A and B are shown apart, each in its own frame.
Chain A
Amino acid sequence: EAGVVQSPRYKIIEKKQPVAFWCNPISGHNTLYWYRQNLGQGPELLIRYENEEAVDDSQLPKDRFSAERLKGVDSTLKIQPAELGDSAVYLCASSLGLAGEQETQYFGPGTRLLVL
């Protein structure tokens, strides 16, 4: 069974430029998560989707970050414009659902973003 797929794996951009990350979750997983992980820290949830609905985006900086999950499968996270402080690893995870063991999250390899 294929795991969570993310692309690109690495991205280097200059500040004020836009950037987008793509995630394809495990087949059949209804819940999709985007996290940001700064160096030496644990992941920080940015947004959670239940199918195509964003049910928790309280930690998403909405002035520059946006996300979509059209058709309830793959998802895109965008930053526009990027700032130096956005340099981090962006992780995508998915789970079957939110009941008991179904909420076990499986992570992709992440996208490492460097903003210069």
Chain B
Amino acid sequence: AQSVTQPDIHITVSEGASLELRCNYSYGATPYLFWYVQSPGQGLQLLLKYFSGDTLVQGIKGFEAEFKRSQSSFNLRKPSVHWSDAAEYFCAVTWSRAGNNRKLIWGLGTSLAVNP
């Protein structure tokens, strides 16, 4: 079955510290991978995506993510966190072989708090 796991429900980091949010997926077909961020009371904003090519992708707001097929992972990173990065982060995956009825499978999200 297709599934997406974000192992960390909640993470707290200090401002200026580095950040890594984990995302793992199941299912063997080629994945299309996304990270979205949701600030309180807001919709979901696309941070970055991976379809093919270079496995290290750059996104907005200084975020990057690396696709590791051998580990079925797509972890999100930022070298220096800002207080404005406090939000909920969602990993989402779809699969190229899922056909016309394919849909995004979502992780449960990771809530990020940033200490001043």
Contact = CB atoms under 8 A, between A and B. Distances in A.
Q: Do A and B bind each other?
A: yes
Interface in B69-116: 90, 92, 94, 100-104, 106-109
B104 to A, nearest CB: 7
B100 A98 contact: yes
Given A42-B90, A100-B51, A107 B43 contact: yes
Contacts of B102: 98
Contact of B109 (A42, A48, A100): A42
B103 A45 contact: yes
Given A55-B100, A56-B103, A103-B32, A43 B44 contact: yes
Interface in B21-63: 32, 34, 36, 41-46, 49, 51
A101 B57 CA distance: 14
Contact of A108 (B43, B104, B107, B109): B43
Given A42-B107, A48-B103, A101-B49, A112 B41 contact: yes
A107 B104 contact: no
Contact of A107 (B32, B44, B101): B44
A42 B108 contact: yes
Contact of A104 (B45, B46, B101, B108): B46
Contact of B46 (A41, A91, A103, A106): A106
B75 to A, nearest CB: 17
A6 B104 CA distance: 21
Nearest to B90: A42
28 contacts: A4-B43, A6-B43, A40-B109, A41-B108, A41-B109, A42-B90, A42-B92, A42-B106, A42-B107, A42-B109, A43-B44, A43-B90, A43-B104, A45-B103, A56-B101, A56-B103, A91-B44, A93-B44, A100-B51, A104-B46, A105-B46, A105-B104, A107-B43, A107-B44, A107-B45, A108-B43, A109-B42, A109-B43
Interface of B: 32, 34, 36, 41-46, 49, 51, 90, 92, 94, 100-104, 106-109
